[in-house]
Structure 1
Amino acid sequence: MTKPALFLRTGAILLSGLALVLSSPAISAGEARPKSAPVVRAPYETDAPIVMLKDLDSGRILFSRGADKRFAPASMAKVMTAYVVLDLIEKGKLSRDKLITVEDATWKKWSARRGGSTMFLRAGEKVSVDDLIKGLITVSGNDAASVLAVGIDGNEDAFVHRMNEMAAEMGMTSSRFGTASGWPDGGITKVSAGDMVLLASRLIRDHPDGYARYFSIPKFQHGISPDGQPIVQANRNPILGRFAGADGLKTGHTSEAGYCFLGSAKRDGRRLVMVVAGLSSAKARRDEAERLMNWGFAPTNTSVAAKGRASAAAAR
């Protein structure tokens, strides 16, 4: 082949290749292959009057309804009691091994109140702070809350003052506590969903060891039944052991408050905290909590999350 012919053939090949490049869509260095369309998550729908779901890692509120409405938290107030006790332990002002004697007045107070949850403490019994926290959280012991309060500060009013000081320090501006247990107190104890999510966030962040130690115990044994058998009570958390990743916090229920739940779960390094309140039954509370968590952990992206916040605001 002559040199002119070779030159013409080579030029034709180069022009053909250039035309192919120009006719193909541009692909950036960071986009070697077309990406699949983002997963779109349906808006969350609920009849619950108070609901809030927060992603602690991003700080985003994924869903909110009635988050600023003040309501009676019932036994969810025990989370603040636990925070105060864990804070004292962390600061070296209280030992887990300290034994506190159950005063006769405290025993009478809770043995006379039918329907309230207890860890079946006995008058004169000496119980460690460690076991009292377990009874407080796992079986929602009202007696445990009172014994801790009196054992730490001499009387429950002084301990409640600590609770309110801590709430103010955290910025829980819609909350006030009247008891260590959350027992109905004539409307003194009131919180908001936003404040309870803040409290849960602080407890998990400030006291991770205490959270891991006390909030996911599946059952707790303390006390002896009239027939001499050990009393074993299951954790009241409705999604613990039922929803993968659920690891703690607290239920609440009174006729005034309805059925409430402050819960948290962690999956693949991502933690969500939720509140549901004002539900009509334990089953409704459990179903709502599980459904909300499933929705929260569903695949999504930033733009969809933003739309979810707008939908949540419209649902208030």
Structure 2
Amino acid sequence: MKKYVFLLLVLLIFIAPLYRAYANEVPFVSAKAAIVMDQNTGRVLYEKNVHMKLPMASTTKIMTLIIALEKGNLKDIVTVSQKAASIGGSSIWLSPGEKIDMESLLYGLMLSSGNDAATAIAEHIAGNVENFAEMMNQKAKEIGAYNTHFVTPSGLDIGIDDHYTTAYDLALITRYAFLNYPKFAEIVSTKEKTIPWEGKEWDRYLRNKNKLLWIYEGADGVKTGFTNKAGRCLVSSATREGRRLIAVVLNSPLMWEDSMKILDYAFSKFKPFKVFEKGEIVKKVEILKGKKKEIEVVVKEGCIVPVAEEEKDRVSIELFIPDKLDAPVEKGEKVGWAVVKIGEEKICELDCISLEKVGKQDFVYNFKRVITKWVEILKSS
């Protein structure tokens, strides 16, 4: 028995380094374009043709959900139009004239990829699909997704040539959604849901089409997509040890395998490296004509960056904080910023704020100082 245990230990000693080396190899994927992005910093951890413009099928609905959360009301009652009910492709079987709450439509949009739900949402919020698409395009620009253009809220692209995005833009849009809307994270991580079905004795049953929610460790989103033009598309996310990674594969025959492969690679190769704690003091600044001679400046937020082992020595910090400031200074006032880099790559920028309030010297303050000094002189004489 001891002999077998010894042999097993020997095998593990030799196999472990080989496994780590394999896990850290840049993977080959079948996708035409792919990316893994760190949610916290936006750092790209894996890339393939990330700026190639491609159709994205129902991953479009990520932006539809963003606009609905931003412009709509979850408790709104939506009346389904004939157009929405008759839209082609995947459906949650809405009927013309049916009344359903907005929140239920959002689950139908993301779990069952309902094109009818997407159209009903768009018409309710913007009056028609065209106006809603304008909202989507405006939001894309605000987010920084400059190589993206939406025509429909569903992603149906039959006869449409100018409905496209890039892997990078889609990751950027998804990151924005996670950072700004807790409801987004709640919806896209839901595996199963029942929603009302007007006129029926039973509710609609929705099951999320994203298989990774069941088979991949830490999976918590996001959206599948398929059309003949776009091929198989998947935006996925996974959270491990408090950090979320976002993966996108576009036109990927093996979208499940590709997504897990690049997520595994990113989790394995890039480890969290703490640069700043939230509220950490980064500098002391002299205050001119203030009631206090100096203040402590702290970072407003913490900073943890994903770093490969060989990159640790290349992490650097640049502080853009003046040596002196004129009073007054308010508590929490931004007085500069810090930039974290890996080599020449800018990873994140953090606001630096005053830890306390410092008032400006005035007549009363200066008079009190003079009196205090006189008292000290009298006591010492």
TM-score range, shorter chain: 0.7 to 0.9
Contact in 1 for aligned 2:104/2:196 (Cα 8 Å): no
In the alignment, what sits opposite 1:22? none
Q: Write the distance in 2 (CA, Å) between the matches of 1:300 and 1:279.
A: 24
- Superposed displacement of residue 59, structure 1: 3.5
Contact in 2 for aligned 1:103/1:123 (Cα 8 Å): yes
Q: Which residue among 289, 293, 307 is the counterpart of 2:259? A: 289
Q: Write the distance in 2 (CA, Å) between the matches of 1:59 and 1:152.
A: 30
Amino acid at match of 2:178: I
Q: Write the distance in 2 (CA, Å) between the matches of 1:299 and 1:159.
A: 40
In the alignment, what sits opposite 1:16? none
Q: Write the distance in 1 (CA, Å) between the matches of 2:62 and 2:184.
A: 10
- Superposed displacement of residue 45, structure 1: 2.2
Does 2:180 correspond to 1:197? no
Q: Write the distance in 2 (CA, Å) between the matches of 1:178 and 1:77.
A: 10
Contact in 1 for aligned 2:119/2:154 (Cα 8 Å): yes
- Superposed displacement of residue 300, structure 1: 4.6
Does 2:239 correspond to 1:239? no
Q: Which residue among 54, 71, 74 is the counterpart of 1:96? A: 74
Q: Write the distance in 1 (CA, Å) between the matches of 2:64 and 2:178.
A: 14
Q: Write the distance in 2 (CA, Å) between the matches of 1:87 and 1:129.
A: 12
In the alignment, what sits opposite 1:17? none
Q: Write the distance in 2 (CA, Å) between the matches of 1:171 and 1:194.
A: 10
Q: Write the distance in 2 (CA, Å) between the matches of 1:177 and 1:196.
A: 12
In the alignment, what sits opposite 1:264? 237
Q: What do you get for the CA RMSD once the two structures are aligned? A: 2.5
Q: Write the distance in 2 (CA, Å) between the matches of 1:121 and 1:162.
A: 24
Q: Write the distance in 1 (CA, Å) between the matches of 2:77 and 2:36.
A: 38
Structure 1 residues 38-58: Cα deviation after superposition (integer angstroms, max 9, x where no partner): x65222222322111112234
- Superposed displacement of residue 141, structure 1: 0.5
Amino acid at match of 1:259: R
Does 2:36 correspond to 1:53? yes
**Number of matched pairs:** 257
Amino acid at match of 1:256: K
Q: Write the distance in 2 (CA, Å) between the matches of 1:157 and 1:287.
A: 36
Contact in 1 for aligned 2:42/2:172 (Cα 8 Å): no
Q: Write the distance in 2 (CA, Å) between the matches of 1:42 and 1:158.
A: 45
Structure 1 residues 131-166: Cα deviation after superposition (integer angstroms, max 9, x where no partner): 011111111010000000111111111111111111
Instruction: Name the SS of the counterpart of 1:251 in structure 2.
Output: strand
Stretches of structure 1 lacking an aligned partner (at least 5 in a row)? 1-36, 89-93, 310-316
Q: Write the distance in 2 (CA, Å) between the matches of 1:77 and 1:300.
A: 29
In the alignment, what sits opposite 2:190? 217
Contact in 1 for aligned 2:269/2:308 (Cα 8 Å): no
Q: Write the distance in 1 (CA, Å) between the matches of 2:228 and 2:49.
A: 19
TM-score (norm 2): 0.63
Amino acid at match of 2:214: G
TM-score (norm 1): 0.75
Moved more, 73-82 or 54-63: 54-63
**CA distance 1:223–1:56, shift in 2 (3 Å):** closer
In the alignment, what sits opposite 1:312? none
Instruction: Name the SS of the counterpart of 2:213 in structure 1.
Output: coil
In the alignment, what sits opposite 1:206? 180
**CA distance 1:51–1:299, shift in 2 (3 Å):** closer
**CA distance 1:305–1:216, shift in 2 (3 Å):** farther
- Superposed displacement of residue 254, structure 1: 0.3
Structure 1 residues 101-136: Cα deviation after superposition (integer angstroms, max 9, x where no partner): 0112322x32xx3xx111111111101110011111
Q: Write the distance in 1 (CA, Å) between the matches of 2:113 and 2:77.
A: 20
Q: Write the distance in 1 (CA, Å) between the matches of 2:183 and 2:135.
A: 19
Q: Write the distance in 1 (CA, Å) between the matches of 2:183 and 2:263.
A: 23
Q: Which has the higher contact order (CA 8 A, sep 6+)?
A: 1
Q: Percent identity?
A: 28
More helix by proportion, 1 or 2?
Answer: 1
Q: Write the distance in 1 (CA, Å) between the matches of 2:156 and 2:73.
A: 26
Q: Pairwise mapping of residues 128-277 of structure 1 onto structure 2 (< 5 A)?
A: 128-185=101-158, 186-207=160-181, 209-222=182-195, 230-277=203-250
- Superposed displacement of residue 222, structure 1: 4.5
Q: Write the distance in 2 (CA, Å) between the matches of 1:98 and 1:59.
A: 34
**CA distance 1:54–1:139, shift in 2 (3 Å):** same
Q: Write the distance in 1 (CA, Å) between the matches of 2:93 and 2:132.
A: 22
Q: Write the distance in 2 (CA, Å) between the matches of 1:304 and 1:125.
A: 57
In the alignment, what sits opposite 1:24? none
In the alignment, what sits opposite 1:87? 70
More strand by proportion, 1 or 2?
Answer: 2
